[in-house]
Amino acid sequence: MPEPAIRVHNLVKLYARRRQPTIRAIDLLTFDVARGSIFGLLGPNGAGKTTLLRVLSTLARPTSGAASVLGHDVVASPLEVRRRISVVIQETAVELFLTVRDNLGTFARFHGLGDAGIRTRAERVLEDFGLASEAHRKVMDLSGGYRRRVQVAKVFMVDTPVVFLDEFSTGMDPVLKRSVMEKLRREAAAGRTIVLTTQILGEAEELCDDILILNRGRQAARGDLHTLKLLSQGVYDVTVTFDRLPPGIEDELAARGPIRLSITQSTVEVTLKEDDDGILAVVGALARRGRVLRLEVGGASLEDIFVELTKEGPRVGADTEDHHGGRA
Amino acid sequence: MSALSAVMYREGKIRATNALFIFWDVVYPLGYLLVFGVGMNKALGFSGLPTDYHAFFLAGVLGMAGFGIASNTAWSFFMDRDNGIFYEMLTYPISRAEYLLGKVLFNVAIGLVQAFITVLLARALLGVPLRPDRFPLLAAAVVVGTAGWFFFYAIFALAIRRNDAFNTVTSIFYFVFLFASSMFYPIDPLPVAFRAVALVNPITWHVDVMRFATIGLGDPRSVALEAAGFVAFTLVSFAGALLVLRREG
């Protein structure tokens, strides 16, 4: 069996704060990521996703435990790790005073590409990312969305075997996002390992072969989409559209302790954990409350599972520490 | 392309986006020498100096220029942070030492061009008597001087998170380091306390070496000691900057 692309063992990352309790941003995490897979890190704000990416990309040292990328320990051989990764950090990171083309070129140079290689690659990447017409514009003159586009485009200039993407689709329009997702699938199929964090669960649902849900720095669940859905057997999404919203229905449903409840005009969307008889009883009761125009009952989505697994709520402040690179 | 040259290339690219900036870096010491040096020479004369004031001040101007380039280069860490590129760069396949060295090397090259033009025109326009045999020493002093002050400033630029706080620190350093030194005047006639501060000020060591290398002024043994002191200061500053940078990621 080939060595995994990423190996994490009993990893702990603490952030000590003056006169405040220490934050356990990562708390005894252990997992492997297979080569050529798309691995999704999900979790609420402050769950430890960005901290974990910072550790894996050598930006932060773990407090204890071990992590390695393609067999290279992130603490003992950080440079060897950096030779094998490219990273899209959560914040926009671009050379504002350089043109789009020069942004791609300077990035590629750091990864050892020469002039000829850069020229060839840049043409393709500019085209793929819809940046060809902006190639000679300075990035400072571009909108936030375009800046993010340039930032993500950079990782396609090089062939590092591992790519880390921290909320890569922030600020991207849906068409470009779809195209980038397609590219990521192709890169993974060609053997590149992609590790991404996202708050958009549909993205993970569509893209990831393997998902780790983090909560409070710990593993809340792990597996492919099918495995995760098995975890939530008995969780149902019910959508009912009435011709007119029955009075008091919100309180009635809230009394059942739903995982999620939303009411928009005359449509009620509720996610409940019930056995088969229970869900039929709920649907029957809803149907008797008014004239039903549409009724849908389905299994749980990734979002439902996510909410179910992380509903204790995040610790306030942990993500802020991640953001500003808090120190241990 | 090696990691070091990739960092240099990036610095060069960024600096080349503003030709006026480079032009100013290259010619401002000369302007300073012409305006301030000649003015002081005419107005005050500085009797007791073994040479004209503008000849004496040439090394001071070169020291000040290196000091300025170093502080501007360190300030660019704030620009990199604002652009977000700072943390991304820390994930590139470069060591932290290469990052620091690459960042300063392009600016050292600017410093050398600046020194060459200033010295050449000081001779042509002001008739400053030069020691061409000591130009290799001058070049070394420019290189080590610019790098040393950059590493020193980098410690603060990396440790301080606020741009305005860093600006305050540089203002204090400009005031303390530049005026309590042999940059503008000889330190022998100064009050004892003032002189003591100037003697332990690395700017004094740096400028004295450059004065020895340009117009031949100074005792070779004490200049050698000052040169060794400045090299030690540079190495300690480099170690300090590296330590702070490693804490960043």
A24-57 pLDDT, tens digit each = 999 999 999 999 999 999 988 889 999 999 999 9
CA distance A100 to A113: 17
Return all residues near A31 (Cβ < 8 A) that are at least 6 apart.
Answer: A8, A212, A219, A222
**Which of B83, B92, B247 is opposite residue A95, by nearest beta carbon?**
B83
Strands in A72-73's sheet, in edge-to-edge order, are: A20-33, A6-17, A64-69, A72-73
* pLDDT of A83: 96
Mean pLDDT of the region A74-78: 95
Suggest the residue from B4, B76, B83, B243 to mutate for an interface test with chain A (most A CBs closer than 10 A): B83
Measured CB to CB, residues of chain B less than 8 Å from chain A are: 1, 3, 6-7, 9-10, 13-14, 17-18, 83-85, 87-95, 247-249
Residues of A in contact with B91 (CB under 8 A): 57-59, 82, 85-87, 89, 164
Q: How distant, in Å, are the alpha carbons of A84, A155, A242, B153 from that of A103?
A: 20, 11, 54, 27
Fold classified for A6-229+314-323: Rossmann fold (3.40.50)
The per-residue pLDDT for B209 is: 96
B89 contacts in chain A (CB < 8 Å): 110
Does residue A327 sit in helix, strand or coil?
A: coil
B72/B18 Cα distance (integer angstroms)? 14
Taking contacts as CB-CB distances below 8 angstroms, the residues of chain A near B14 are 95, 97-98
Question: Token pair for residue A141?
Answer: 């003159």
Return the percentage of chain B with pLDDT > 90, whole number: 52
Indicate the SS3 state at residue A189: helix
Å from A217 to nearest chain B CA? Answer: 20
pLDDT in tens, A318-328: 333 333 333 32
Report how far residue A103's alpha carbon sits from residue A94's, in angstroms, rounded to the nearest whole number: 7
Judge: A95–B84 Cβ closer than 8 Å, yes or no: no
Backbone dihedral angles phi then psi of residue B128, each to the nearest 5 degrees = -65, 125
pLDDT tens track for A287-306: 888 999 999 888 777 777 77
Percent of chain A with pLDDT strictly greater than 70: 94
C-beta separation of B74 from B157 below 8 A: yes
Put simply, the answer to whether B83 touches A96 (Cβ < 8 Å) is yes
pLDDT at A160: 96
Residue A96 one-letter amino acid: L
Range A95-120 average pLDDT: 95
> What's the domain range around B93?
3-248
For A144, the closest chain B residue by CA position comes to B83
Helix (H, G, I), strand (E, B) or coil at A160: coil
For testing contact with chain A, the best of B1, B9, B86, B88 (most A CBs within 10 A): B88
The pLDDT value given to residue B45: 65
Torsion angle in degrees (nearest 10) through CA of A62, A66, A71, A75? 40
Q: pLDDT tens-digit profile of A79-90?
A: 999 999 999 999
Of the two residues B203 and A315, the one the predictor is more confident about is B203
Contact check, Cβ <8 Å, B91/A97 = no
**Would you call A110 and B85 a contact, using CB atoms and an 8 Å cutoff?**
no
φ, ψ for residue B202 (rounded to 5)?
-60, -25
The alpha carbon of residue B140 is apart from the nearest alpha carbon of chain A, in Å, by: 28
Residue of chain A minimizing CA distance to B84: A93
Pairwise CB contact (< 8 Å): B13 & A98: yes
User: HEC string of chain B?
Assistant: CCHHHHHHHHHHHHHHCCHHHHHHHHHHHHHHHHHHHHHHHHHCCCCCCCCCHHHHHHHHHHHHHHHHHHHHHHHHHHHHHHHCHHHHHCCCCCCHHHHHHHHHHHHHHHHHHHHHHHHHHHHHHHCCCCCHHHHHHHHHHHHHHHHHHHHHHHHHHHHCCCHHHHHHHHHHHHHHHHHCCCCCCCCCCCCHHHHHHHHCCHHHHHHHHHHHHHCCCCCHHHHHHHHHHHHHHHHHHHHHHHHHHHHHC
Q: Using an 8 Å Cβ cutoff, are B129 and B215 in contact?
A: yes
Interface of A with B (CB under 8 A): 54, 57-60, 79, 82-83, 85-87, 89, 91-98, 102, 106-107, 109-114, 138, 151, 164, 325, 327
Q: How many CB atoms lie within 10 A of CB B186?
A: 15
Number of separate domains in chain B: 1
Q: pLDDT digits over B86-113, tens only?
A: 999 999 999 999 999 999 998 899 889 9
Closest Cβ–Cβ partner in B18, B83, B93 for A110: B93
- Band (pLDDT 50/70/90 cuts) for residue A313 is very low
Q: Mean pLDDT, to the nearest integer, of B27-42?
A: 74
| Dihedral in degrees, nearest 10, Cα atoms B224, B228, B234, B240 | -160
Handedness of CA B86, B91, B93, B96 (dihedral sign): positive
Task: Confirm if B70 and B152 have CB atoms less than 8 A apart.
Answer: yes
Query: Beta-strand (E) ranges in chain A?
Result: 6-17, 20-33, 38-42, 64-69, 72-73, 85-88, 162-166, 193-197, 210-215, 218-223, 235-242, 260-264, 267-273, 292-299
* Shortest Cα–Cα distance, A79 to chain B (Å): 6
- Nearest residue on chain B to A165, alpha-carbon basis: B88
CB-CB under 8 Å, B9 with A93: no
- Of A26, A99, A103, residue with least CA distance to A60: A26
Give how far B149 is from chain A: nearest CA, Å.
25
Report the pLDDT averaged over residues B35-39: 74
- How far, rounded to the nearest angstrom, does the alpha carbon of residue A183 sit from its chain's CA centroid? 16
Higher pLDDT, B222 or A231: B222
ipTM exceeding 0.90, yes/no: no
User: Which of A53, A74, A85, A109 to mutate: most B Cβ within 10 Å?
Assistant: A109
Mean residue pLDDT across chain B: 89
Mind listing the pLDDT tens digit for each residue in A143-157?
Answer: 988 999 999 999 999
Tally C-beta pairs within 8 A across A and B: 80
How much is the pLDDT for B228? Answer: 97
A60 pLDDT band, cuts 50/70/90, is: very high
Parallel/antiparallel/unpaired status of strands A38-42 and A85-88? unpaired
pLDDT confidence of residue B1: 55
Chain A residues with CB inside 8 Å of B6's CB? 106, 109-110
What angle, 0 to 180 degrees and rounded to 10, lies between the N-to-C axes of helices B202-214 and B135-159? 160
**A233-299 carries CATH number 3.30.70:** yes
Domain parsing of chain A, residue ranges: 6-229+314-323, 233-299
Chain B CA closest to residue A326: B248
Spatial distance between the Cα atoms of A243 and B50, rounded to a whole number of angstroms: 102
- Lowest mean pLDDT: which of A259-273, B142-156, B221-235? A259-273
Contact B87 A97 (CB under 8 A): no
Q: How far is CA B219 from CA A260, B130, B224, in A?
A: 83, 16, 9
Taking an 8 Å cut-off on Cβ atoms, the answer to whether B88 and A95 are in contact is no
Q: Return the residue of B nearest to A81 by Cα.
A: B93
Q: Is A40 helix (H, G, I), strand (E, B) or coil?
A: strand
The alpha-carbon gap from B34 to the nearest alpha carbon of chain A, in Å, equals 33
Alpha carbon separation from B61 to B16, B183, B233 (Å, rounded): 24, 8, 20
Whether A257 has a pLDDT exceeding 90, the answer reads no
For residue B30, pLDDT over 80 is answered with no
pLDDT grade, residue A112 (50/70/90)? Answer: very high
| CA–CA separation, A32 and A34 (whole Å) | 6
Position B17 scores a pLDDT of 86
Q: What is the pLDDT of residue A14?
A: 93
By C-alpha distance, which of A23, A13, A7, A10 is closest to A317? A23
pLDDT-derived band at A59, boundaries 50, 70, 90? very high
pLDDT above 60 (res A316): no
Q: Is B84 in Cβ contact with A94 (below 8 Å)?
A: yes
Which chain A residue has the Cα nearest residue B96?
A: A79
Round the average pLDDT of chain A to a whole number and report it: 88
Q: How many CB atoms lie within 10 A of CB A194?
A: 24
Q: Is the pLDDT of residue A237 over 70?
A: yes
As a dihedral over the C-alpha atoms of residue A13, residue A19, residue A21, residue A22, rounded to 10 degrees, the angle is 10
